[in-house]
């Protein structure tokens, strides 16, 4: 029970952090779009507009890498579930990030690991429901037995 509460808190924290990064990405794109439009309206040379594109691309790329690291870190909850994490040498599952020299899961790796985590959680739910059903049946039988004995 406590483990589920902790996991819910961690998941909520992850989703909030992810939302902040996506909002930050949208703000950066909007800011640079505004700058490009202003530069084009003011008749600035193409090289200056191109440099704005380049700066935007660089900043968005950094935010995208932060998102990849956050998602990869969150998916490492697979360690707690004892789910195998893809081999780090597998280039279809992992990629090296430019900015931090860190490794992050590729979209294929994310999808595969999420699928594995979901399967593991589903198996745990099935096991829990089995034992819960058996326990409820046992409690019902004991209650019936007590009712018969007391009559």
How is residue 116 written in tokens? 């594995």
> Any idea where the domains of the chain sit in the sequence?
2-150
- For residue 61, give Cα distances in angstroms to 40, 53, 54, 55, 122: 24, 12, 10, 10, 35
Question: In the chain, which residues have pLDDT < 50?
Answer: none
- Cβ atoms of 94 and 103 within 8 Å: the answer is yes
pLDDT score at 19: 97
**What's the pLDDT score for residue 100?**
66
Q: State residue 1's pLDDT score.
A: 61
Q: Is the pTM of this model over 0.75?
A: no
Could you tell me the two tokens for 38? 């202003």
Please say whether the beta carbons of 67 and 22 come within 8 A: yes
User: Across-strand partners of 2?
Assistant: none
Nearest one of 105, 51, 42, 112 to 83, comparing CA atoms: 112
pLDDT score recorded for residue 23: 97
The Cβ of residue 65 has, within 10 Å, a number of other Cβ atoms equal to 17
The pLDDT of residue 3 is 67
């Amino acid at each position: 029970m406590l483990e589920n509460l902790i996991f819910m808190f961690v998941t909520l924290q992850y989703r909030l952090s992810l939302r902040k990064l996506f909002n930050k990405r949208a703000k950066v794109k909007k800011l640079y779009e505004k700058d490009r439009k202003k530069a084009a309206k003011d008749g600035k040379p193409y090289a200056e507009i191109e440099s704005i594109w380049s700066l935007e691309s660089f900043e968005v790329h950094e935010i995208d890498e932060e998102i990849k690291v956050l998602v990869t870190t969150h998916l490492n909850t697979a360690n707690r579930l004892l789910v195998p994490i893809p081999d780090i040498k597998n280039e279809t599952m992992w990629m090296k990030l430019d900015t931090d020299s860190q490794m992050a899961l590729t979209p294929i790796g994310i999808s595969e690991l999420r699928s594995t985590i979901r399967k593991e959680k589903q198996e745990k739910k099935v096991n829990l429901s089995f034992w819960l059903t058996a326990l409820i049946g046992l409690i019902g039988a004991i209650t019936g037995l007590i009712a018969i004995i007391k009559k």
